[in-house]
Structure 1
């Protein structure tokens, strides 16, 4: 199992913090140089399908979202090209919670997943699939998006397929990652979370708050977004109810 951390060149203090935290758990991190989306002009973003993004998400993308998307794709491609059977990806503002190593070992013992997410901003109803150490469970979310791509694991045999499915960019990365029904990889979740957000995570490197809210399209232009989200809900529930029977 390889462990990766996404880190911008301008954030050495975040890298130092997470390296120290993970070293205490016996984890040696491989750094993925994060892409700073603010340095990429809008007309030089070939990965972004802007019409699809506006239609599906109902907001104009912020520069940091594009950089985040590219950075995570690099991490997934590194897993696909690596020699380990699976890879864990962390953003640099998380820290491990007690018992994380035992849960990772338990997940690795069975081939019943391709992607497992370890961090969430929302706690929806979920279908519990199997017990894990430390009172955690492998689950499938019945509602969403649940938010966050701050920590997740990808099986190498599925990584290349996942990287292809995530192109082009038509949603923020955290939303796109959990769409197992569209990506055609077995995507599940661990609850409670395996990581916590460090104090530095309160300082976003993407863009939040009022500036982000101002990027919403006018209400009538968000009607396609409503239709998309309704169809996603149906697909998500169907997917969650079928989880555990896929190979």
Structure 2
């Protein structure tokens, strides 16, 4: 049965205009679940950023807050997600379910959508990586076979998530000028952010994926590996803060 989109939060799929293969794949998956959706044309940062987009980012601040420089493609991806948050706020929408065009969905996502489970909290990461929750934290039921737990810190990936009007406004307020990636440009754990267990949305394996963003990101990250291995890290407060955090949290992804 085709669901009436007016009764549900809108589903937006972030996708570059020329990503026809990806668009076909995600369209096929959503159609199989009888879920209406709308493509949102992503900002293309592969050839640099336009002046209007450059004005929304803080490159020096990125290295301070995020710990490394970001590629233009990463900034463009984050700004694309920001454009949906702005649409939620300016359009007085209660919230939205956001997918990237390489998301892998199935029966669990269909149940999540049909049950309107997105409305139970402000931000639910349906896909995540490097997700940490506090030890002994409560795990609450989301849908049959899936629970959610509060993120102890920002988890990676924005492949699929639900976001309320309140959460969208929070990220617009504290995430601009942009100093971080789409996942996430500011602290979202205060909302709070909930992580799905198990994950309701999946993503392609990085080594088999065709993400230009991931390729550029790996190139930058490889430059800082030597610094992390340096013995001087033991004399830095950040090292011991991470040590303390790891012993009080459980990694779930």
Question: Shorter-chain-normalised TM-score: which range?
Answer: 0.7 to 0.9
1:156 shift after superposition: 2.2
Residue pair 1:60, 1:216 contacting (<8 A) in 2 also: no
Structure 2 residue runs without a partner (length 5+):
1-8
1:175 and 1:227 mapped to 2: Cα distance? Answer: 23
Q: Is the counterpart of residue 212 in structure 1 residue 212 in structure 2?
A: no
Residue pair 1:49, 1:170 contacting (<8 A) in 2 also: yes
Which residue of structure 2 aligns with residue 245 of structure 1? Answer: none
- Give 1:203's match in structure 2, choosing from 186, 205, 210: 210
SS in 2 for 1:131: strand
Pairing of 1:1-247 with structure 2 (within 5 A): 1-41=9-49, 45-82=54-91, 84-104=93-113, 105=115, 107-108=117-118, 110=120, 113-126=121-134, 127-142=137-152, 144-176=153-185, 179-181=187-189, 184-198=190-204, 202-208=209-215, 211-216=219-224, 219=227
Normalised TM-score (structure 1): 0.77
2:23 and 2:242 mapped to 1: Cα distance? Answer: 36
1:39 and 1:172 mapped to 2: Cα distance? Answer: 18
1:22 and 1:202 mapped to 2: Cα distance? Answer: 20
Note closer, same or farther for the CA distance 1:229–1:136 as it changes in structure 2 (3 Å cut): farther
SS in 2 for 1:121: coil
The one-character-per-residue Cα deviations of 1:33-78 (angstroms, maximum 9, x if unpaired) are 1011123259862222222211233322112111111111012122
SS in 2 for 1:139: strand
1:175 shift after superposition: 3.5
Normalised TM-score (structure 2): 0.76
Residue pair 2:131, 2:195 contacting (<8 A) in 1 also: no
Structure possessing the higher relative contact order (Cα contacts under 8 Å, 6 or more residues apart): 1
Q: CA RMSD in A?
A: 3.5
2:124 and 2:243 mapped to 1: Cα distance? Answer: 20
Which residue of structure 2 aligns with residue 243 of structure 1? Answer: none
The one-character-per-residue Cα deviations of 1:114-156 (angstroms, maximum 9, x if unpaired) are 11111112353453341122311121123x5431011111112
The one-character-per-residue Cα deviations of 1:197-232 (angstroms, maximum 9, x if unpaired) are 247971113142752334549839x98xx7568769
SS in 2 for 1:197: coil
Structure 1 residue runs without a partner (length 5+):
241-247
Question: After the TM superposition, which segments of 4 or more aligned residues of structure 1 sit over 6 Å from their partners?
Answer: 228-238
SS in 1 for 2:170: helix
Largest Rg, 1 or 2: 2
1:59 and 1:109 mapped to 2: Cα distance? Answer: 35
1:148 and 1:91 mapped to 2: Cα distance? Answer: 10
1:115 and 1:138 mapped to 2: Cα distance? Answer: 11
2:125 and 2:131 mapped to 1: Cα distance? Answer: 13
